[in-house]
Amino acid sequence: QSVLTQPPSVSGAPGQRVTISCTGSSSNIGAGYDVHWYQQLPGTAPKLLIYGNSNRPSGVPDRFSGSKSGTSASLAITGLQAEDEADYYCQSYDSSLSGFGGGVFGGGTKLTVL
Amino acid sequence: QLQLQESGPGLVKPSETLSLTCTVSGGSISSSSYYWGWIRQPPGKGLEWIGSIYYSGSTYYNPSLKSRVTISVDTSKNQFSLKLSSVTAADTAVYYCARLVSLTLLPQGWFDPWGQGTLVTVSS
């Protein structure tokens, strides 16, 4: 059971918009810790997609966007493309784990492009 | 461009100690702006943070693994290492090392970049 809750799967047709939620609690997202998102293509290492709730690293298309409100965060993907089919993970910190260094991940969401 | 590379045995026997090393190239592990972390992913499952270390040696561990984990750093070799003792089949996973980018002095930030990962299987 992950500290951060994500839907196991989402799907959408090419060109559509999908969102992936990441729900936490008052000891992690709700405590003000930033949320970060990663994309993991099949057989590869995770790649940073969004950092600090809504910032895109250079090279990440602006079709990807992140937001945070209260104890939850969301990743939105617009103009869905076949190459977006991957697993997506949110990550934050939890003050109840290991003092100030308790990193936590969501369980991951598999995005299927129909 | 910063790169990280995990190395170590791909097969470990139950009850023994798993040992992995992450070699950092293209940048210094002694940079005050970063921590360094280990994350694992069991086959077909999600990501689990194992622990993080600063170049000074300060460490932070996942409470669920704390009694079995030791992370250390060797700044002269630009490497940091993971030891996980008393392993069982449940410790079979791809182990990743990654740089932890933090905007504060605390190990709270994002992991970027990641190493390619190394599969460690626990089996007799």
Contact A46 B63 (CB under 8 A): no
Q: Which of A17, A6, A7, A8 is nearest to A84 (CA)?
A: A17
In the predicted structure, residue B1 carries a pLDDT above the cut 90:
yes
Residue of A nearest to B52 (CA): A101
Q: How confident is the model at residue A99 (pLDDT cuts 50, 70, 90)?
A: low
Chain B: nearest CA to A79, how far in angstroms?
25
Going by pLDDT thresholds of 50, 70 and 90, the confidence category of residue B105 is: confident
Kindly determine whether residue A98 and residue B60, on different chains, have CB atoms separated by under 8 Å.
yes
- What integer pLDDT is reported at residue B33 of this predicted model? 86
Q: How far apart are CA A16 and CA B65, in angstroms?
A: 41
Could you give the dihedral angle defined by the CA atoms of residues A49, A53, A54 and A56, in that order, rounded to the nearest 10 degrees? Answer: -30
- Average pLDDT of chain A? 94
Are the beta carbons of A104 and B49 separated by less than 8 Å?
A: yes
Judged by CB atoms closer than 8 Å, whether chains meet at A105 and B46 is answered as yes
Work out the pLDDT band at A96, boundaries 50, 70, 90: confident
Mean pLDDT, to the nearest integer, of B84-109? 94
Q: Is the pLDDT of residue A26 over 80?
A: yes
Smallest Cβ–Cβ distance between B52 and the set A44, A89, A101 belongs to: A101
Q: How far apart are the first and last CA of chain B?
A: 39
Query: Angle at the Cα of B52 (from B119 to A56), degrees rounded to 5?
Result: 85
